[in-house]
Amino acid sequence: MSSPSPFAPSPAPSAEPLTAWALTPGSIGHEVQCIGVVEALGLAPVVKRVDPSPPLRWLAPWGPAAVDRAIAPPWPDLLVVSGRQAVPYARMIRRRSAGATLVVCLQNPVAPLSWFDLVWTNVHDGLSGPNVLTTLTSPNTLTRPRLEAGAAALATRLGPMPRPWIGGIVGGTSGAYAFSSAEATLLGAALADLAGRTGGSVVVTPSRRTPPASLKALDAALAATLPAERRWVWDGASGDNPYFGILGAADRLVVTCDSVNMLGEAAYTGTPLYVFPLSGGTPKFAAFHAALIATGAMRWLDAAALAAAVTDGSLAGWTYPPLNANAVIAARIAALLAARGHRVAAF
């Protein structure tokens, strides 16, 4: 259970709709998580972005909040923040609203937990406290309707590509992992093998971190054995990113191991998830992968998995409960809001 707010507000129940801000430094990773949590409560987030100048930028999260005309009363009923630069504003709003605003921080604030009513982090971050909530996967903006809409749009875009569809979601080089052209060639060959033995197709989307040379190598590996009508790799420029469509439409997902967010979003779908190993890693990633395997969602895409993946021309499969961090976080927030006299319709 979360510790009570030191302000102990007790507002009377209100029929007015709840207001919620999603406040971040504007980076897509932080913003998506905040928006996803607010939407999971059935609320419409007001997106706020802050960009303090030095020296206050350097002092975050410990320093004061910079003056920003967009961050002003009336204060929201709920404030969800993420990112070091957003923390001073969370502290300021909690103080100036006299605790009437429920303040939630997503990810480790690297600041006193007592500054917030609730802090969420991934399990592998190892943070604990009376007002800390942890989940294995991260919040996101995925919903069933969005996945269905994405799948329908992708089917229209690609036309009658043979089923099953093997969906490839490709990350890239990061502080923890490398994604070389040689590894991309191996990944392309594995994807082509799965499609080739089932008569299916491969659809791939890269991330912003995917090296162009690696994407080119992957595409070449697919082209070596699959005809053009059974393979499609988004080039990052033509049309919208098919990410939601691949998550919603693929019969099997193959995701590189380098992103907690990508793997968590794949596990949200309930679709069997193969994970392709890359060079590198950290103890935190190892713990995350082990925990994801324990849920039944993930299997490594190695030689043994490839051999067992197809039986008599059909894809082998498995089931697991979809992992939905949004629902867990939203339920805790709804309970905290209820304790303040606010009713959240979605709960």
Give tens-digit pLDDT for 140-179. 999 999 999 999 999 999 999 999 999 999 999 999 999 9
Q: Can you tell me whether residue 31 is helix, strand or coil?
A: helix
**β-pairing verdict for 279-280 and 177-178:** antiparallel
Query: Which among 161, 180, 235 has a CA at the least distance from the CA of 204?
Result: 235
Looking at the chain, the number of H-run helices and the number of E-run strands are: 11, 16
- Residue 13 or 258, more confident: 258
Q: Average pLDDT for residues 24-28, to the nearest whole number?
A: 95
Report how far residue 248's alpha carbon sits from residue 168's, in angstroms, rounded to the nearest whole number.
Answer: 12
CATH number at 20-136+326-339: 3.40.50
Q: Average pLDDT for residues 31-46, to the nearest whole number?
A: 97
Q: CATH 3.40.50.2000 spans which residues of the chain? A: 144-322
Residue 14 binned pLDDT confidence (cut-offs 50, 70, 90): low
Q: Average pLDDT for residues 116-132, to the nearest whole number?
A: 96
pLDDT at residue 307, as a whole number? 87
Give the DSSP H or E segment for 280: strand 279-280
Report how far residue 100's alpha carbon sits from residue 93's, in angstroms, rounded to the nearest whole number.
Answer: 9
> Which range scores top for mean pLDDT: 6-10, 173-177, 309-313?
173-177
pTM of the model: 0.91
Count the Cβ atoms, other than its own, within 10 Å of residue 332. Answer: 16
pLDDT at residue 3, as a whole number? 42
Find the radius of gyration of the CA atoms of the chain. 22
Look up residue 242 and give its two tokens.
């098919």
pLDDT at residue 1, as a whole number? 38
- Residue 84 or 10, more confident: 84
CATH number at 144-322: 3.40.50.2000
